[in-house]
């Protein structure tokens, strides 16, 4: 009985404590409404409309500049601490739905919506800034531009970007991925040289539709076997209207997270194309980290019935092994084991890209490095070479599966 009385007493105190500020805020609200009503009853329709628009704009700005960033930031903090939450509710939930719908919609359009929107967005931003300067409302125009950036950033994370915070693929597939010691690295490097030598063949120009279908078939098989989430999206290869954008930034392919599009550099050599396409399709399926996209691309390419696709995958991964093993004294003697035809293919790729080396390429590489680090990808652009760790770890635990 005494306990019930105590509870009732504390409930009363709680109510009384909250009653005052609550009634005060109601009082202020009523004054505001009354004041607003007396103003607008004296106004004509167009002035009322203008006032309403000003209120709506201010409210939209407030949402974009304060509430949206706060919400996004809170989610990023929460997801960073609980990767399994990202996997369950985002990667296999919201993201899977968005990817299925958006990739299928954007696949209908033969050109890159991402590229056209980029140009349109730049023009719109310039127009907005110019209007702000003309109307002497620079501060307001800048705030509105900032609100636009916040909306874009939010869409980036909700449509794809939270995938950076998923658990690592090695955890999902139950194997240990760690930087190998020099002996293990040497053995795996030699394995990769042997596989690439055996897979070598001249690669002819691809029929893109056939290549797309073959890689999709590989994805269906590999994902079913590994119990990875199958997303029934469509990511046909797309090329940019201005391919130089990718040339001068030394980009072989790029996934567009805003419209879920897989882009290829139009100047890729046939030997590069299958692996790059498979890599971008892994991004499309929500594997954001570069090393993981390359690792999945390797598994998928090796599942193909087309030997030239195997060669493309080994050729690309061999490049990562070479970069990793270069520091050791016997590298020069080991690299002599690589077939001269493969060395010629490497030189052809180098010839394709070397003319675009310059400050723009350097700037874009540095920017991408910052972007990856900001999304908690350890090592930034060095993450590409971490595919070596995944291959070594996978071979160790699934020795029988990877070598074809």
Residues that bind Zn ion (CB under 5 A): 290, 293
Q: How far is the CB of 290 from Zn ion (least distance, A)?
A: 5
CA distances 142 to 98, 129, 138, 151, Å, are 31, 7, 6, 14
Q: How far is the CB of 279 from Zn ion (least distance, A)?
A: 5
Q: Which is nearer to Zn ion, 293 or 299 (CB)?
A: 293
Q: Is 3 left (phi over 0), alpha (psi -120 to 50) or beta?
A: alpha
Q: How far is the CB of 190 from Zn ion (least distance, A)?
A: 27
Q: Which is nearer to Zn ion, 283 or 303 (CB)?
A: 283
CA distances 349 to 243, 273, 281, 354, 401, Å, are 16, 11, 22, 9, 29
- Other Cβ atoms less than 10 A from the Cβ of 271: the count is 21
Q: How far is the CB of 249 from Zn ion (least distance, A)?
A: 13
Q: Which is nearer to Zn ion, 193 or 264 (CB)?
A: 264
Sequential DSSP letters for 150-213: HHHHHHHHHHTGGGGGSPPHHHHTT-------HHHHHHHHHHHHHHHHHH----PPP-HHHHHH
Q: How far is the CB of 62 from Zn ion (least distance, A)?
A: 37
Q: Which is nearer to Zn ion, 75 or 390 (CB)?
A: 390
CA angle, 168 as apex, 100 and 303 as ends, to 5°?
65
Q: Which is nearer to Zn ion, 293 or 296 (CB)?
A: 293
Q: Which is nearer to Zn ion, 132 or 284 (CB)?
A: 284
Q: How far is the CB of 243 from Zn ion (least distance, A)?
A: 18
Identify the CA nearest to 194 among candidates 304, 306, 334: 334
């Amino acid at each position: 009985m005494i306990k019930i009385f105590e509870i009732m007493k504390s409930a009363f105190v709680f109510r009384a404590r909250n009653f005052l500020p609550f009634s005060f805020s109601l009082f202020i609200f009523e004054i505001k409404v009354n004041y607003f009503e007396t103003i607008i009853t004296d106004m004509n329709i167009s002035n009322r409309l203008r006032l309403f628009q000003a209120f709506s704009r201010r409210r939209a700005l407030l949402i974009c500049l304060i509430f949206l960033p706060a919400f996004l930031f809170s989610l990023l903090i929460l997801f960073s601490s609980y990767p399994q939450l990202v996997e369950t509710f985002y990667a296999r939930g919201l993201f899977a739905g968005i990817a299925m719908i958006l990739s299928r919609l954007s696949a209908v359009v033969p050109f890159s919506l991402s590229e056209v929107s980029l140009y349109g967005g730049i023009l719109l931003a310039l127009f907005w800034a110019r209007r702000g300067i003309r109307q002497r409302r620079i501060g307001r125009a800048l705030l509105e531009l900032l609100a636009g950036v916040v909306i874009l950033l939010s869409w980036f994370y909700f449509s794809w970007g939270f995938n950076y915070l998923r658990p690592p693929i090695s955890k999902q597939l139950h194997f240990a991925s760690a930087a190998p010691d020099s002996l293990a690295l040497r053995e795996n490097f030699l394995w990769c040289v042997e596989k690439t030598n055996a897979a070598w063949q001249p690669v002819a120009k691809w029929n893109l539709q056939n290549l797309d279908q073959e890689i999709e078939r590989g994805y269906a098989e590999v994902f079913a076997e590994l119990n990875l989430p199958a997303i029934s999206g469509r990511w046909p290869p797309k090329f940019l209207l201005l391919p130089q954008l990718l040339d001068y930034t030394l980009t072989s392919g790029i996934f567009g997270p805003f419209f879920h599009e897989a882009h290829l550099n139009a100047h890729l050599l046939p030997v590069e194309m299958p692996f790059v396409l498979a890599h971008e399709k892994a991004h499309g399926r929500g594997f954001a980290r570069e090393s993981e996209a390359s690792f999945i691309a390797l598994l998928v390419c090796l599942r193909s019935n087309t030997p030239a696709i195997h060669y493309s995958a080994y050729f690309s991964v061999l490049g990562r092994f070479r970069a990793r093993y270069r520091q050791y004294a016997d590298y020069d003697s080991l690299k002599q084991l690589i077939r001269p035809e493969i060395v010629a293919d490497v030189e052809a790729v180098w010839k394709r890209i070397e003319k675009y080396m310059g400050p723009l390429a350097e700037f874009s590489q540095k920017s991408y490095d910052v972007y990856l680090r900001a999304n908690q990808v350890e090592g930034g652009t060095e993450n590409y070479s971490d595919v070596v760790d995944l291959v070594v770890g996978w071979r160790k635990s699934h020795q029988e599966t990877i070598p074809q």
